[in-house]
Structure 1
């Protein structure tokens, strides 16, 4: 990295031949409702609030509704072996019709009594330890958890497979410490992408910067990939938070050269949407390679693409 190029406007960054690194694209979907919180030290505390308030022994009922294999709560159909051992339908398909407790053949026996008991229960959201204090009827709980605003976020880093989940402060620190992502304070930025051989293009994706402004964090992505038969460069912004908060902000990106410029304005997408989903929706600044080379001077020998941007809060 040339030392002279490094002294740029706030958020400036140079990536020389980054595209040749063959960094694989990753898809980060939202956390599933089966997120395993069994290892949490708060699990017993959360379970202690299960059931109808004021009803004794709800912990025991709650434990009865836990699958003996995966330890997740069971929903109809709940299966049992002739000896009364229960398990969920997902695990039944995996144990080859043999009870994991007594090894007796399972058959197709439904535990209707336990399903009926579940209908009478009200239990807390499993993300209670993360801030959700609502209590739901047993069969409404799962639907809520799929969209609970307190559910953990997936790591938004798109340069490698990463299974880390957590709240926003945790993920910001994770990006900084584990992925070595650049962190900048401010709402404007100016990046330069340099490639010595622009005729070679492969799918590559990486995160340039996390910006901290207005008390929130934004992830700037820049990547190169084939769109159909055409090589393109793409930049877009993601918001580290939910959709409702993301819509409170707007951003602009622009590239230019030779007296011309291309401008994009949009709303940052929440990191609830995977990186791949945002990219494939083309919700960002897309620059065809030929136009990028024109902005670079048009000699087709070297790509020097400047990406400038600004983030602001809507009134």
Structure 2
């Protein structure tokens, strides 16, 4: 969608209404934020560790580890990629296993590869891979959905990246009031409006709004994503509301973590979905222009109170 075809107005607590335009495509910076050093006394680049590094893909090798007749090793995935020829000496690989190196690997304990991002954990060699796939310190993908962006990093780095490279709208507050405008909504297919980022409760949230085809029906969808892990995301709830002319649609749910891709959230329909005819009805007028106002709020889930404890506004005392 072209940037001049959409008007998006955001109103948050203590902020005046302002116009928002979609950002132009910009070059994405590589991951380059300063990171803490690994724990003292641990060197992931020891000579043994280097022996277990595949010379083709440079990843750690896991059984089966293959070798040629001259003793050069490589991982099983790359063995297929090099068409059974040793990448070092070009000898035929055959099906020779390097059992000695596999035995050495069993005795190793190594730090998580995300130690430079803050992970303090150390694992036996064969447990390390499973941990790294779920490590809470592994980098996040950029949540911007308006273009293909391959930038990864931690949350502070991605917030700066969204602000500086994608020019997203940044707000502080837990309530919002957005107005999405399109002069000819019937031309809008598979369009993404500009991402908006909110900072509240010490965390960042991404508000998405877009148009796409749901089966044969054109629809609009709004949903919220949490910039953090799934466990933290479950501590929050949010609501979205749209309506006019005496009608109203309300959605309440838990924000999805940005660990889940934008497409995955959208395709699961986990958000407020508005059919185009209803959106045009909410817009009023002659139904030839989209003027859709979406309001919402974010709140933190409170822990369940102990039985018998009365919290104001949450329970009512029964008279004797």
TM norm structure 1: 0.85
Distance 1:6 1:102, change over 3 A: closer
Hey, what's the Cα distance between the residues in 2 that align with 1:118 and 1:195? 60
4+ long deviations beyond 6 Å: 39-44
- Select which of 133, 139, 155 maps to 1:168: 155
Please name the residue that 2:292 is paired with: 305
Please name the residue that 2:83 is paired with: 96
Report the alpha carbon displacement of residue 158 of structure 1 after superposing the two structures with TM.
0.5
Please name the residue that 1:230 is paired with: 217
1:142 is the counterpart of 2:134: no
Deviations 1:62-105 (A, max 9, x none): 11111111211100110101000001111111112111111111
- Select which of 51, 68, 71 maps to 2:58: 71
* Partner SS for 1:109: coil
Please name the residue that 1:80 is paired with: 67
Hey, what's the Cα distance between the residues in 2 that align with 1:280 and 1:47? 45
RMSD: 2.9
1:271 is the counterpart of 2:258: yes
The structure showing larger relative contact order (alpha-carbon pairs under 8 Å, at least 6 residues apart) is 1
Distance 1:89 1:46, change over 3 A: farther
Please name the residue that 2:114 is paired with: 127
Please name the residue that 1:198 is paired with: 185
Please name the residue that 2:42 is paired with: 49
Hey, what's the Cα distance between the residues in 2 that align with 1:13 and 1:276? 28
1:242 is the counterpart of 2:242: no
Hey, what's the Cα distance between the residues in 2 that align with 1:42 and 1:48? 18
* Partner SS for 2:186: coil
Please name the residue that 2:171 is paired with: 184
> Would you say the 8 A contact 1:120–1:137 is kept in 2?
yes
> Would you say the 8 A contact 1:224–1:231 is kept in 2?
yes
Hey, what's the Cα distance between the residues in 2 that align with 1:258 and 1:40? 50
Q: Structure 2: any 5+ residue segments left out of the alignment?
A: 26-30, 303-320
* Partner SS for 2:46: helix
Count of aligned pairs: 290
Please name the residue that 1:115 is paired with: 102
Report the alpha carbon displacement of residue 186 of structure 1 after superposing the two structures with TM.
0.6
1:208 is the counterpart of 2:195: yes
Hey, what's the Cα distance between the residues in 2 that align with 1:107 and 1:81? 7
